Structure 1
């Protein structure tokens, strides 16, 4: 019974959510688009000509934002957006998509082949593992996903490049921040306005790789 009540409440909140309404108006596939937009504007990241890798991209709202930022004259994309997710994602015009599990070497290799020798300007990750409710297990899963995104970034980012990942406050969060500080000159925590108050999600931004 409690579960039903929660579902009803959640649906009601979702329907009345101003970011859900705005996403529908602007044609974004999810309200998460506004989280990324706020971070990009605050950090002055992502511009035409950039190479962007979107990890955990489905349903595609972050890829939509990236594509929008790349549009040049005549609607031609100036730059590259490469997206990856375990789930299928409806095509976003001009976005290269790989379906597969980022934790698997074969999928990672596919992504690395697509990037090739080009260095990446920005890696964005809205990836979140399936959570079990067991805090120690969940924090290990979250840390693992962040580690993979960080490892990929260390190999493929330009020296001036940046990484944005979703993390969660709680057990293991400080270790993720420390991990970022070992590799980036500047590390920031951002909680966008579009992030729900009840959510413990916090986005970490790492800028400029340490030599």
Structure 2
């Protein structure tokens, strides 16, 4: 997915300015102005995606090719459903690509997600006891891809937020170890901040390739990046066998 150049280099652009309204915080005005001028937000509206985050997954998959026809996908923290939309199309969940294998897409989130053809979404906290068994039951077996674009609610304290999201990412990784089939892929959002070393070490023990990337759709002023771990070696309990 390519977005037309909107950097301002080599061309003159029209930028939407938002006036500060009575009762609206300055931070809210800045957020609104950024949304109105964000090419990915505009592209999402044009292409029918539920959010600009869809393009992050598109760009990651264009590079690493893990959403293949026939793949079984689990999306952790799937609301509002942009990643589900991308996965449904790419794994051929609706069977629209004749002659290609038909995949499946399962999403879980703390909040309800608007129904999406080709995807099955459930309200579930995957950190709860028994959540892994429940997801396996919905899957009917193992998964080929585990996705996580989860982020903890911001506390306003950068280091605290970093530790919270790293904790979520590590939990998602352990979840992936339990549900992924051999050769599977784990993709998750992390925040740069110095505490991701343990996660990298953990993933390298269980995957053949681990890459860290900041897709173009990720805002330049954000510290987020994504880890793409491919070639799952198998369930930890089977390593000694």
Would the TM-score normalized by the shorter structure come out above 0.5?
Answer: yes
Q: Which has the higher helix share?
A: 1
Equivalent position to 2:40, from 10, 15, 19: 19
Of structures 1 and 2, the one scoring higher in RCO (CA 8 A, sep 6+) is 1
RMSD: 2.1
Q: TM-score, normalised by structure 1?
A: 0.91
Give the distance between the partners of 2:171 and 2:130, measured in 1 at CA.
14
Question: What residue number does 2:205 align with?
Answer: 182
Deviation at 1:90, TM superposition (A): 0.3
**Which segments of 5 or more consecutive residues in structure 1 lack a partner in the other structure?**
none
| Structure 1 residues 23 and 177: alpha-carbon distance in aligned structure 2, compared to 1, 3 A threshold | same
| Structure 1 residues 151 and 49: alpha-carbon distance in aligned structure 2, compared to 1, 3 A threshold | same
> Any residues of structure 2 matched to 1:21-170 within 5 Å, and which?
21-69=42-90, 70=92, 71-73=94-96, 78-116=102-140, 118-170=141-193
**Which segments of 5 or more consecutive residues in structure 2 lack a partner in the other structure?**
1-19, 234-238
Q: TM-score, normalised by structure 2?
A: 0.80
11-20 or 139-148: bigger deviation: 139-148
SS in 1 for 2:34: helix
Number of aligned residue pairs: give it. 209
102-111 or 57-66: bigger deviation: 102-111
Give the distance between the partners of 1:195 and 1:74, measured in 2 at CA.
30
Deviation at 1:48, TM superposition (A): 1.4
Deviation at 1:173, TM superposition (A): 2.1
